[in-house]
Amino acid sequence: MPTREVAAVSWGNYGEVIVVDSPEEAVGLSDQWAPEHLEVQTADWRYFLDHCTNYGSMFCGEETTVSYGDKTIGTNHVLPTMRAARYTGGLYVGKFVKTVTYQHATRKASLEIAKVCERACNYENMLAHGISCRVRIDKYSKQKMQKN
């Protein structure tokens, strides 16, 4: 390989070979490792496609290679490194879309939610959050009693 000297440093510092006893064990190891590029060179590559969840991009079977994904057929070359594939995927248009969320609860639901949330807030020493729950418990409990 023309880049042998450079590649040797990377292989020497980070390379390893791990032998597993089953496809299930390989999937578990792969998902823990969360590779940027996952090249699956087995006859039953579909098993890995169906079961692996933590990878940047998977290259399935001998007909594909990381080079294809990086340079021609892949979505892009911007993939999660350093095991980030455990919580994010590769760059795609959705990364540039603004996402907003909202919450709404009825008074009845708020009363029930507040009872649970107050305990969680106080347990975590988030006292102001706990107080905001307590205010709703007191208010909505009184309103419930007045209706009865």
pLDDT, tens digit, 9 for 90 and up, residues 73-83: 866 678 888 88
Cβ within 8 Å of residue 105, ≥6 positions away: 113
Burial of 133 (0-12, 13-18, 19+ CB in 10 A): buried
3-state DSSP call for residue 57?
strand
Output Rg (C-alpha) for the chain, integer angstroms.
Answer: 25
Which residues in the chain come in under a pLDDT of 70?
A: 74-76, 148
Looking at residue 95, its pLDDT comes to: 80
Coil, strand or helix at 40: strand
How far is 65 from 41, CA to CA, in rounded Å? 9
The pLDDT, as a whole number, for residue 148 is: 63
> What pLDDT is stored for residue 113 in this prediction?
96
* pTM for this predicted structure: 0.61
Region of 61 please: left (phi>0), alpha (psi -120 to 50) or beta: left
Residues 92/76, Cβ–Cβ less than 8 Å = yes
Annotated active-site residue in 5, 16, 25, 37: 37
124: annotated active-site residue: no
36 a catalytic residue = yes
> What pLDDT, on a 0 to 100 scale, did the predictor assign at position 73?
80
Q: What is the dihedral of CA 80, 86, 91, 92, to 10 degrees?
A: 160
Question: How much is the pLDDT for 74?
Answer: 67
Catalytic one among 5, 24, 25, 36? 36
**What is the pLDDT at residue 6?**
92
Quote the tokens at residue 39. 């090249």
- What dihedral angle (degrees, nearest 10) is formed by the CA atoms of 75, 80, 83, 86? -70
3-state secondary structure of 10: helix
